[in-house]
Amino acid sequence: MITSVRLAHLLLKECIHNGDIMIDATAGNGHDTLFLSDCVGDAGTVIAIDIQAEAINATRQVMEIHQRSNALYILGDHAAMNDTLKEYEGNIAGITFNLGYLPGAIDHTIITKSSSTISGLNACLTLLHEQGCISVIAYRGHDHGLEEAHAVEQWMHALPSQEWHVVSISAINQSSTSPVVYFARKKSLRPQ
């Protein structure tokens, strides 16, 4: 079966080019950062953000094992991306969020939360360039996961249709708590 991570990667691949700057807003164990690093190539950059030092260390390690040197690492809250990444305003090709807690961590209380996720999504609006994209994987099966997915869905729903393409993808014959992928891409300003 195709996983939600694979689905998000397929959609992202459509809008990433060699030399792009991408943000992994939830670096975790570094799998998404590594994927983005391959997509942008040596001429591009991935900015990997996580609120936990354990995750930033794990991501750095995965990148080192794969001999990738095109990432910047930020230990911090993606809710503050507008401030920490001010110099990149309007220059980012895409931003990914893989919500929830750090897989393999002992402490599952450090988890994405609706309020900071929505602040992070709001920051995307100024960071992204024309035709930039946002992907969010939301896990609805854990405490507050459903509430967080609803908040993301409402946020995505409110994006103006003249300016954005927005889709959500989830399995329709599985439990209603299975993961959902949200994907939004800014429309081109040039007449097609």
Contact residues: ligand SAM, CB under 6 A? 26-32, 49-52, 55, 77-79, 98, 100-102, 110-112, 116
Instruction: Kindly give the pairing relationship between strand 180-186 and strand 128-138.
Output: antiparallel
Smallest gap from Cβ 86 to ligand SAM, in A, equals 17
Sign of CA pseudo-dihedral 172, 173, 175, 178: negative
Output 28 or 94, the one with its CB closest to ligand SAM.
28
* DSSP label of 187: P
Which of 39, 22, 36 minimizes the C-alpha distance to 133? 22
Cβ atoms of 121 and 151 within 8 Å: the answer is no
In angstroms, the CA 81 to CA 85 distance is 5
Smallest gap from Cβ 49 to ligand SAM, in A, equals 5
Smallest gap from Cβ 114 to ligand SAM, in A, equals 11
Smallest gap from Cβ 56 to ligand SAM, in A, equals 9
